[in-house]
A and B are shown apart, each in its own frame.
Chain A
């Protein structure tokens, strides 16, 4: 008994043939389900549980490959429908106009991700220098047995965490100020790790990617030693895809 796994939606006219195998255990290939000017990229999967990690990997490889050639609206990981008819009747048809509008808005643009990570020593130094309260509490705690300073250490940690958060806000503002003007849209994502300073997604016209990259390179030079930048893309426009229909069927 098989079902259909859905990866993403694109314009039927765009080239979206994908070589990467699908998420199913037997790695059935990715194929197209066309409905008018829309196409859904799908593959057959067997009914039953899927191994999460392998599915994730396959899912991503399919999307990466498809998005390299065309604008693809990514679908949430793990989305399975009964069959191709369901894909058309319950997805492509009822949401046709919204999907077409989204694809039009994203056409010719790519998502680029810019993440900044702190050098921990420099960050901590800045925190201690910038906050007398931290410096004081740190003095109280240093060299004393850990059991005796439990409360103090928690308070110290809390203070430091607050200062780090402030630092993140300042650095995010700075990064956005520099890069947002070169993008069509910008979106802030949650920092993924304790040493993360900024996690920003930008929607950039393909024709302006080089210019954008140049600005990123310059920024990297400026923050050198204090932060390191990770610049990734092009990604499917995850951060700029509206997850659901904004209006109900009665509209």
Chain B
């Protein structure tokens, strides 16, 4: 992760090298197309083509959204709190809200040091939030 110190007393961030996950779509979807034969084999995966699966997938997504909005704990809001108070209670309760949303590449720690734990905390809480949103229909069925 490359950060250079800028003269303004702040930190200049740099764009980060990408993980494969982030570029997979453009690698597969974009780029020059040549009149050529393409040979890609999928080992150990069988492709099935039942159309009904589409329907399940769409419904699936909506159920997930419903789950997300239900899970949100608005007990205080449900007693018709005003928005400012509501926002306060959200930020108090959620460590994730406190987590800096800064660019992942921004290494404010450069020159300060000791923020490894903060970074680990960030990626852990980010992951736990995304894990929660992905918890599946085990409770739906």
Q: Does A122 contact B (CB under 8 A)?
A: yes
Q: Does A168 contact B (CB under 8 A)?
A: no
B18 touches A80 (CB 8 A): no
Given A124-B68, A129-B83, check contact A77 B28 (CB 8 Å): yes
Per-position 1/0 for B15-42, Cβ under 8 A of A: 1111010111111101111111111111
Which residues does chain A contribute within 8 Å of B27, judged by CB atoms? 56, 59-60, 74, 77, 238
Query: In the complex, A81→B139 CA distance in Å?
Result: 51
Q: Does B53 contact A (CB under 8 A)?
A: no
Which residues does chain B contribute within 8 Å of A76, judged by CB atoms? 30-34, 38
Chain A proximity of B94: nearest CB distance (Å): 6
B69 touches A156 (CB 8 A): yes
A75 touches B72 (CB 8 A): no
B16 touches A231 (CB 8 A): yes
Q: Does A241 contact B (CB under 8 A)?
A: yes
Query: In the complex, A228→B62 CA distance in Å?
Result: 24
Q: Does A26 contact B (CB under 8 A)?
A: no
Q: Does B70 contact A (CB under 8 A)?
A: yes
Q: Does A105 contact B (CB under 8 A)?
A: no
Which residues does chain B contribute within 8 Å of A195, judged by CB atoms? 130, 133
B69 touches A124 (CB 8 A): yes
A113: contacting residue among B18, B67, B98, CB under 8 A: B18
- Please, which residue of chain B has its CB at the minimum distance from the CB of A212? B15
A241: contacting residue among B30, B38, B65, B97, CB under 8 A: B30
Per-position 1/0 for B68-84, Cβ under 8 A of A: 11111010010000010
Given A48-B39, A160-B65, check contact A146 B28 (CB 8 Å): no
Given A52-B40, A157-B65, A235-B18, check contact A122 B32 (CB 8 Å): no
Best-buried of B24, B26, B38 by chain A (most CB within 10 Å): B26
The number of residues on chain B lying at the interface, defined by a beta carbon within 8 Å of a beta carbon of chain A, is: 68
Query: In the complex, A128→B99 CA distance in Å?
Result: 22
- Please, which residue of chain B has its CB at the minimum distance from the CB of A49? B41
Q: Does B47 contact A (CB under 8 A)?
A: no
Given A128-B69, A153-B66, check contact A225 B97 (CB 8 Å): yes
Q: Does B52 contact A (CB under 8 A)?
A: no
Given A125-B90, A233-B18, check contact A217 B39 (CB 8 Å): no
Q: Does A223 contact B (CB under 8 A)?
A: yes
Query: In the complex, A189→B24 CA distance in Å?
Result: 12
Q: Does B103 contact A (CB under 8 A)?
A: yes
A228: contacting residue among B32, B90, B101, CB under 8 A: B101
Chain B interface: which of A13-21, A28-36, A134-142, A174-182?
A134-142
- Please, which residue of chain B has its CB at the minimum distance from the CB of A156? B66
Query: In the complex, A122→B83 CA distance in Å?
Result: 13
Residues of A within 8 A of B (CB): 6, 8-9, 48-52, 55-57, 59-60, 64, 73-81, 86, 90-91, 112-113, 115, 119-122, 124-125, 127-129, 134, 138, 141-142, 146, 153-154, 156-158, 160-161, 164, 189-190, 192, 194-195, 201, 209-210, 213-214, 216-217, 220-221, 223-235, 238-239, 241, 243-244
Closest 4 CB pairs of A and B: A157-B62, A49-B41, A224-B101, A233-B15
